[in-house]
Amino acid sequence: MPNTTVHIIRDVLLAYPKLYKAQANQFGAVQFDTRVDFPVARMAELSQFSRQTPRACDVAENMLSINIRLPEKNRNDKLNSIKVIDMKGELLNPTEVMEMGNGTRANLKVLRYQSPKDGKFSTQLREVQVIEYKKYELDSIDFDIVDNKPTNTSVDF
């Protein structure tokens, strides 16, 4: 790819990481994806890695977010994957990658290139180095479970 550069994005927080298996998004694109959260002070540094303007993070004040993705397949129709390693350079096992949760601190290796389609720059996530691992845990559910009794349904509220 012409105009291609490799960058290391250091010490960011991940949210909703989909790094083990590419998943379809709401538009039907099958891709690996993670939200990257960072302090407002790093906006100038990190805004170049997203086509959209960084948005306010929904979990902390003075934090912004961008998403970085990798399509399921490359231009030659070969499957992509994301390498996920620890600070010693050892691969995380598949269960650890699948159970990675919000707030995991990481360094990211990304590929930034100029798209031949529209001339704009795009970023692809290639590798994740975990600094501090957070396992996904369901903190709560929307409804309290009171008992196993069937619920009466009603049209009126």
For the chain, the structural domain boundaries read 5-132
Distance from chain centroid for Cα 131? 15
**Reduced to 3 states, what is the DSSP secondary structure of residue 47?**
helix
Distances (CA, A) of 106 to 51, 64, 130: 21, 16, 4
Tell which residue, 67, 46, 51, 68, has the closest CA to residue 114.
Answer: 51
Tokens of 21: 């298996």
Name, in order, each residue with C-beta under 8 angstroms of 58's C-beta and a sequence gap of 6 or more: 65
pLDDT string in tens for the chain (157-residue length): 568 999 999 999 999 999 999 999 999 999 999 999 999 999 999 999 999 999 999 888 999 999 999 999 998 999 999 999 999 999 999 999 999 999 999 999 999 999 888 888 999 999 999 999 999 987 655 555 555 555 555 555 4
- CA angle 56/20/139 to nearest 5° reads 55
> Which numeric CATH code is attached to 5-132?
2.40.50.140
Please give the pLDDT value at position 14: 97
